[in-house]
């Protein structure tokens, strides 16, 4: 339990930061191997800038876990707005937010307004896009995974194969909504599926890792948005163990309640004062 009195991995975000002497400054990804993979990629001489921060949005923080496939709209909006603030080059100053969700939703009375002329005249977005966002599944995917037993493996089984497809449909729909919410805050986000990127697991552990698409996206100024590959069944114990494993790599993990001043300060790296509320996991070495 964190200082907020709530289960920190269920109702929180996870900003994680690497010390300055390492190649990247922020990691909290799908499993401990992800932290090592991204750090290794960032040592490549073709890398333009180090990753500033990798954030995990807890599934229970951005969805209503008691209701199947239900997003906590206000919590997600608040989290995205704070990410925008943390990325901004002009903290505290009024700035123009360029919305990037140009799709029409069912029930929208009019087509989206696109300020193409204004966009073409902008020199930059005014934000640091060297962030990676990972999110949990919350009320998406758990039902499908538990009914089919997909987390146990065995794709030769018709039930497991069907459950894999159903779980992926559910979780990728959440990923798309998170991408759209970030896009509305003017953050150039792209959804990335671990499955499509070449990540695979065996006995609930990562068997193969390919961070190349993540790195390439960062290089051209996109913010990768990925779902934790086993989050539909990992449970609290798995999340705690992963946070500890990441800390052993020399990466500080900060756990705070989403949408609070404490989560915003964690995103900005301002956690040194005694009035900051949250949990810090770091190596004792």
Q: Which residue has the higher pLDDT, 188 or 204?
A: 188
Cβ neighbours of 104 (radius 10 Å)? 11
User: H or E stretch including 255?
Assistant: strand 252-257
**Residue 223: is its pLDDT beyond 80?**
yes
Q: Measure the CA–CA gap between 64 and 70, rounded to whole angstroms.
A: 5
- Residues 126-136 have pLDDT tens digits of 899 999 999 98
- Residues 244-267 have pLDDT tens digits of 888 888 888 988 898 899 999 999
Q: Could you tell me the strand order of the sheet in which 252-257 lies?
A: 189-192, 223-227, 131-135, 53-57, 12-17, 252-257, 279-281
pTM of structure: 0.77
Q: Measure the CA–CA gap between 265 and 166, rounded to whole angstroms.
A: 37
HSE at residue 96, side-chain half, CA atoms within 13 A, is 9
Structural domain boundaries in the chain: 12-90+126-138+178-281
**Residue 84: is its pLDDT beyond 90?**
yes
- Report whether 232 contacts 137 (CB < 8 A): yes
Mean pLDDT of 141-166: 85
Nearest CA to 50 out of 74, 77, 23 is that of 23
Burial of 21 (0-12, 13-18, 19+ CB in 10 A): exposed
Nearest CA to 71 out of 80, 56, 61, 81 is that of 61
- Residues 28-77 have pLDDT tens digits of 333 343 444 444 444 443 445 678 888 999 998 999 988 999 999 999 99
- Residues 86-95 have pLDDT tens digits of 999 876 555 6
The single residue listed with the structure tokens 């977005």 is: 125
- Report whether 56 contacts 228 (CB < 8 A): yes
- Report whether 278 contacts 266 (CB < 8 A): yes
User: H or E stretch including 135?
Assistant: strand 131-135
Q: How confident is the model at residue 203, as a pLDDT? A: 66
Token pair for 4: 């907020």
Q: Measure the CA–CA gap between 185 and 175, rounded to whole angstroms.
A: 16
Q: Measure the CA–CA gap between 89 and 79, rounded to whole angstroms.
A: 18
Q: Which residue has the higher pLDDT, 243 or 179?
A: 179
Token pair for 157: 């089984």
């Amino acid at each position: 339990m964190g200082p907020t009195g709530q289960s920190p991995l269920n109702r929180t975000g996870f900003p994680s930061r690497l010390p300055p002497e390492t190649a990247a400054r922020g990691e909290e990804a799908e499993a401990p191997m992800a932290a090592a993979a991204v750090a290794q990629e960032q040592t490549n001489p073709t890398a333009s800038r180090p990753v500033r921060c990798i954030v995990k949005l807890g599934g229970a923080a951005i969805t209503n876990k008691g209701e199947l496939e239900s997003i906590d709209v206000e919590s997600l909006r608040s989290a995205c707005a704070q990410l925008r603030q943390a990325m901004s080059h002009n903290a505290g100053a009024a700035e123009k937010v360029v919305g990037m969700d140009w799709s029409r939703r069912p029930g929208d009375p009019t087509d989206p307004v696109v300020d193409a002329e204004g966009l073409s005249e902008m020199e930059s977005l005014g934000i640091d896009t060297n962030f990676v966002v990972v999110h949990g599944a919350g009320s998406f995917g758990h039902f499908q995974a538990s009914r089919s037993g997909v987390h146990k493996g065995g794709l030769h089984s018709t039930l497991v194969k069907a459950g894999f497809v159903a779980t992926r449909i559910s979780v990728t729909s959440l990923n798309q909504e998170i991408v759209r919410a970030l896009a509305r805050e003017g953050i150039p986000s792209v959804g990335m599926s671990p499955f499509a990127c070449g990540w695979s697991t065996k006995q609930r552990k990562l068997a193969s890792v390919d961070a190349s698409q993540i790195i390439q996206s960062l290089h051209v100024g996109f913010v990768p948005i990925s779902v934790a590959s086993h989050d539909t069944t990992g449970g609290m114990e798995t999340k705690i163990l992963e946070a500890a494993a990441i800390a052993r790599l020399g990466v500080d993990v900060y756990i705070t309640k989403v949408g609070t001043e404490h989560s915003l300060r964690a995103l900005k790296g301002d956690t040194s004062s005694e009035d900051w509320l949250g949990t810090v996991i770091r190596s004792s070495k």
